[in-house]
Structure 1
C-alpha cells in the first residue's frame, strides 16, 4: 500500500535563482543551496528537491505539484511581495479547496492549497 509522497524532484537550469525563489515562498533548505547541484527543502512531512540540469535539457508540461499550506491568501501575498506573478488569484474550488497556481522560474507548475472548512 502506498503511504504518501516522500519527495518531488524538479530540474532547474539556474540553481541560485530557483533556491532564492523557494526560500522567498518560505521553504527551508535542508541540504545544498545556491552553489549546489542538488538542493532539498522541507515541505511538511515530505521534501521538495531541485536538481541542476544542463541548459540543453528541456522539459514541457508534465503536471503540477500541489502543496497544502496553513494560509493560502498569506502565501499569495508573500509571493506577490517577492515579485512573483501567480497564474491565478486565490479562490474557493468546487472540490473543497482554496488554492492558487504559480509557476517557478523554470516553468514548473505549483499549486498552494488548503481544504475548505466543512459546514457544521
Structure 2
C-alpha cells in the first residue's frame, strides 16, 4: 500500500533564482541552497527538491504539484508582495478546496490549496 509522497524533485536551470523563489513563498531550506546542484526544502512532512539541469535540457508541461497550506489567501498575498504573478486568483472549487496556481521560474505549475471542510478518511 502506498503511504504517501516523500518528495517531489523539480529541475531548474538557475538554482539561485529557484531557491529565492521558493524561499520567498516560505519553503524552508533543509540542505544545500543557492550554490548547490541539489537543494531540499521542507514541505510539511514531505520534501521538495530542486536539481540543477543543463540549459539544453528542456521539459514541457508534466502536471502540477499541489501543496496544502494553512491560508491560501495569505500565501497568494505573499507571492504578490514578492513580485510574482500567480496564474489564477484564489477561489473555492466545486471539489471542496480553496486554491490558486502559480508557475515557478522554470515553468513548473504549482497549486496551493486548503480543504474547505475537514477531510474525512474513508
Q: Distance in 2 between matches of 1:105 and 1:32?
A: 19
Superposed, which structure 2 residues align to 1:1-120 within 5 Å?
1-117=1-117
Q: For 1:10, what is the secondary structure of its paired residue?
A: strand
Q: For 2:16, what is the secondary structure of its paired residue?
A: helix
Flag structure 2 segments of 5+ consecutive residues without an equivalent. none
Alignment size in residue pairs = 118
User: Runs of 4+ in structure 1 displaced over 6 angstroms?
Assistant: none
TM-score (norm 1): 0.97
| 1:117, distance to aligned residue in structure 2 (A) | 2.4
Flag structure 1 segments of 5+ consecutive residues without an equivalent. none
TM-score (norm 2): 0.96
Q: CA-atom RMSD, angstroms?
A: 0.6
Deviations 1:67-92 (A, max 9, x none): 00000000000000000000000000
